[in-house]
Amino acid sequence: MFGADTVRGWGYALAGAAWSLPPAAVALAVAAGAGRSWPAALRWVCFGAVFGALLLVGGRPLGVRARCVRLANRLLRAGLPEPPASPGAGRPRVARTSAWLALHMAVGWAVVAVTGMLAAVAAALAGVWFGGGDRIDLLGVSARVAGGPRGAWAPLAAAGCLVAAVCVCAGATAALRRLAPSLLGPRPSARLAAVEEQTRLLAGRNRLAQELHDSIGHTLTAATIQAAVAAELMEREPEAARRALSSIEESSRSAMDDLDHVLGVLREGKAPRAPQHTLGDLHALVERVRQTGTEVRADTGGDWARVPAAVSREAYRIVQEGLTNALRHAPRAPVTLRVAVTGDWLEAELTNPLAGGGLGLTRPGRRGRGLTGVGERVTLLRGEVSAGPVPGGRWRLLARIPLRSAP
């Protein structure tokens, strides 16, 4: 009650009283000039009508509402979100802003008047008592203040007036802080729209993170294996080693393009390019994997022209993740890849031998995000996915995506 919040609340009330002076002066001038021959009651009605009209006009600009929100947050600690830059809401927004301006001005004048009166009474009582005592007339009440101990009630009453003034400030601050969200805060529809927008933004960022994981993870895995191959062939087959190093350079540049695109989107700027790999890029992907020394037997079939663009993009990423997992867990083991359009479904199947060894590309106890990402992609497209060991000592990843249910 006696802290900085109360002082800021009194400052907020003083601002409301000050803001009411210009519209009040205009309304008073109009009422006095237009209704000189009118009865006093009618002139007051004219004053109220003009004052209310000015408040409605003042509540229309978005900048006024934004300033009201900022001032309430700074002095009332209301914690209100910034209003949107777009007009939105129309008449309800203007009415709520005008109502807040009227409330702010009314409470401001009440607080300033009451606290000013209480402070004046406290000063008068204390001054008379310290001056040796005298008769005092305050607010139509006349009282005798004796000097010395007999008039000791006077400073106590003065202190009580100051405490009452502080209580008025604290109460008005608390009331305005409680009412601010209903008049200056967003409406339920706006809050719901904000939550939906935030959800959409988070979903987009998660999607970008998955894209980055798939692209960079595949590139790093392939580059690691290619570097190992180049090191082995450097002495006896330098030409093959150079081809492996050239493949590392090419795949790294592609990964840098993907990274540049994702970072550009996250910074809300324009990305230099937007890589959108589809099934049409599958041949280049398989060739990069083959350059690591891994045999890939690819079988593609069906009418790919029937595959929607969204399904084609997701299928490419699914195959990429399947090949990456094969390189990580069973390096240089032959991989069988089948991508085919069967009826109204696109099927992508990868199988490779189970292997316990490797190049140390996975850490013990670490759960990868690749299969989780594959499952999320297939689920969003209302498809089916399975991954796990199958008879014959092989690992199989099978994704089936419906063509007509693509978003």
Same domain, 200 and 150: no
Q: Which residue has the higher pLDDT, 137 or 262?
A: 137
Query: Domain check: are 153 and 224 in the same one?
Result: no
Question: 3-state class of 319 per DSSP?
Answer: helix
Residue 108 confidence class, pLDDT cut points 50, 70, 90: very high
Whether 398 is covered by a domain: the verdict is yes
Evaluate if residue 260 carries a pLDDT over 80.
no
One domain, residues 205 and 92: no
- Of the candidates 201, 236, 232, 190, the one whose C-alpha atom is nearest the C-alpha of residue 93 is 190
pTM of the model: 0.50
pLDDT digits (tens, 9 = 90+) for 142-166: 778 887 788 888 889 889 999 999 9
Q: Is residue 62 part of a domain?
A: yes
Q: What is residue 21's predicted lDDT score, i.e. its pLDDT?
A: 92
Comparing 272 with 212, the larger pLDDT belongs to 212
Pair 107, 178 in one domain: yes
Same domain, 60 and 114: yes
Task: State residue 87's pLDDT score.
Answer: 53
How many whole angstroms separate alpha carbon 12 and alpha carbon 111?
10
Residues 281, 306 within the same domain: yes
Report d(CA 318, CA 397) in Å as an integer.
Answer: 9
Domain count, the chain: 2
Residue 241 scores a pLDDT above 60: yes
Domain identity same for 397 and 306? yes
With a cut of 50, say whether residue 185 has pLDDT above it: yes
pLDDT band at 2 (very low <50, low <70, confident <90, very high): low
- Cβ(370)–Cβ(348) below 8 Å: no
Proportion of the chain above pLDDT 70, given as a percent: 77
| Calpha distance 402→245 (Å, rounded) | 39
Model pLDDT for residues 366-393, shown as the tens digit of each residue: 445 567 778 877 887 888 999 889 988 8
Question: Does 212 share its domain with 135?
Answer: no
pLDDT at 75 over 60: yes
SS (H, E, C) the chain: CCCHHHHHHHHHHHHHHHHHHHHHHHHHHHHHHHCCCCCHHHHHHHHHHHHHHHHHHHCCCHHHHHHHHHHHHHHHCCCCCCCCCCCCCCHHHHHHHHHHHHHHHHHHHHHHHHHHHHHHHHHHHHHHHHCCEEEEEECCEEEEEECHHHHCHHHHHHHHHHHHHHHHHHHHHHHHHHHHHHHHCCCHHHHHHHHHHHHHHHHHHHHHHHHHHHHHHHHHHHHHHHHHHHHHHCCCCHHHHHHHHHHHHHHHHHHHHHHHHHHHHHCCCCCCCCCCCCHHHHHHHHHHHHCCCCCEEEEEECCHHHCCHHHHHHHHHHHHHHHHHHHHHCCCCCEEEEEEEECCEEEEEEEEECCCCCCCCCCCCCCCCHHHHHHHHHHHCCCEEEEEEECCCEEEEEEEEECCCCC
Tell me: do 370 and 234 sit in the same domain: yes
Domain range holding 129? 4-186
Point out the domain boundary residue: 152, 186, 220.
186
Identify the band that residue 112 occupies on the pLDDT scale cut at 50, 70 and 90.
Answer: very high
Is 202 found in the same domain as 80? no
Among 186, 204, 227, give the residue marking a domain's end: 186
Q: Are residues 27 and 109 in the same domain?
A: yes
- Cα–Cα distance for residue pair 128/170, rounded to 1 Å: 29
Indicate whether 407 belongs to any domain.
no
Give the three-class secondary structure for 374. helix
Are residues 178 and 204 both part of a single domain? no
* Domain of residue 347, CATH code: 3.30.565.10
